[in-house]
Structure 1
């Protein structure tokens, strides 16, 4: 941990109760529940609020996603897909020591034992977050679209269908109302879209929102409540006190931001700041891409219209019908955040996504899809597939909230509420043991 430093930047006159580092879905929800708890809050982001990973999110709220990323077979798939630059899951070769350690830890967790041990905790935190979304949607000042139309997992292979049937059985044992659909029952559910599939699983409890719309609604509400936002403000260091074991300030180019409590919630960039505090945070970036259409690109005389969001199971492509658009997203590319290629989007990834989507959606006209319309973002991935939420013993006033991978949008509200409860010294509404930062020590 860093010793107490002298900084040239002047200190802010007003000391906040809490400084939240990161203005994505996790940071904005944390600010919301801290504000509800009566705390004065400043949210700091190196870019614009909500314009990083949360911006292009599929928008899924997913009790269905109770199986962690570190699941049996992922290592074998990763090795196989490394040979295919258009594959949905790709590990970029790297000799970075932190990345290699992360991969080793990830491999050790890809076991049936870990999957079974994690399922209930992942389901519980997702269900609690869904409940909080339902409450938030009833707040008059928060105007955002919320649809609880369920989620479909579409399969176009026998193996994919069998795998989904197994997952549905697990879901039923955990209390979810999941079920398998035949092509006929699928057409009855979604009659306005042509699907080339063998069947699907259906999770009626799932919901979806428009992510950026939700974040802007939250930001506007919080600004009216007195929450301060520091956008385009990059933190370059911290002032810490080894006697009290606390952070007293976060240094930026213009000033030192002072607070009684600090929350590290800046996603894939969290490890970089954690290192400045002497902490090793095992989070790696998982790059994903997406494209949104106001009008779906379909062949002449056809249409692509549906109510239910769906995932193309074997291809790992998510399709989200929103009020004013439809969004396609997917791929997981590990090991790119620190590379020169991290800012660009691989043409192979784009081709892989569009070709995969066309196999399930025969009316999709891929010739109309322009590569320059794609967007990319970085998901923060922990090696065991569970988020990292909790305090760290090294610094008494620091709370970690990152590592949510593909569940960041889904778990935003519950993460914010849990962080608020920790900082307010309240009993947390969920057991945080499975998500503790100390589990990696």
Structure 2
């Protein structure tokens, strides 16, 4: 094994699947400068590329104390016993769930990803779609990160159907519970259950005209960029401070600390892109401070769109905006995922009901995702629109994604559970 052991990850197979018919697998890697270390059958990491490891009986992974680049994953996969998965590629990942689309590789069964690393945050928020109900705990931390283990994967799917049938905006998202028959180029369906609860981003990547989701944000984005609209937000990451400015109808131009200028174009949010956060690369001549601020502000806008509070943070041309008005509105949890009349034009707010399900939904009075320490939200499987806000003041107890808000280090051992497949008997 490479490096001394920093801490361990105990993997538990709690699927309840018949091991004479099905196998739970794990593969993993740690990226180092110029090379990778790969998980081996003993739970250590070596320079030799390895295949998937059968963890029907569990496995203890020893996290080595080595230099790494942060690209470290454990990938969990469930297949029929007649299927032996090929070695996991560290450079070409599985395709957008659950479709076989180049250049990705189609997984042979339902899968999910866990991010970890030496002295790093641990995270079951590594993929947009919900594949397997993973959860983990850390030594001396009372929280459960990820799916509540009392809920089976089947029950989570049933809860999603119930939620979309009752939520004011749920009808557009019903299609995301992927239950269609499998075939060539699609993962096997294990015991007839869904392959994934597919994120809108992944669904629209394959079905760009999906009814109910295509153009879902158009009116909200157009209202946001109306000429003369004003923003004032406090950025708590990148170049910290207050950024204020107006829209000319095509873009916001914001001025921050030290007269730093940031331009946010409407085209970045046009069409279906409100579901698909994809921040551009750095422009020629753009400073690192300018790019970092742009990146963080665009991320904050995408988050506000998803949570249904984007227009709460806007003041029209005729009004007066106070410092940090926008960030205060975007971090008001009371308005998240509600169809309230927004503060800008009093229209009913749109939100991402897929995100709402993982943050707010319950199954038989049990929260689907492990609640944060403030008990305000379930810590949802993350996706590009689902980080903790990088604007305003954000208490640690209101953690949003299913990842630690601290780095897991020496002696902080972890237990990771692949949750039940069927309801407990």
* Structure showing greater relative contact order (alpha-carbon pairs closer than 8 Å, 6 or more residues apart): 1
Q: Which has more helix, going by share of residues? A: 1
Which TM-score band (shorter chain)? Answer: under 0.3
TM-score (normalizing by structure 2): 0.25
TM-score (normalizing by structure 1): 0.25
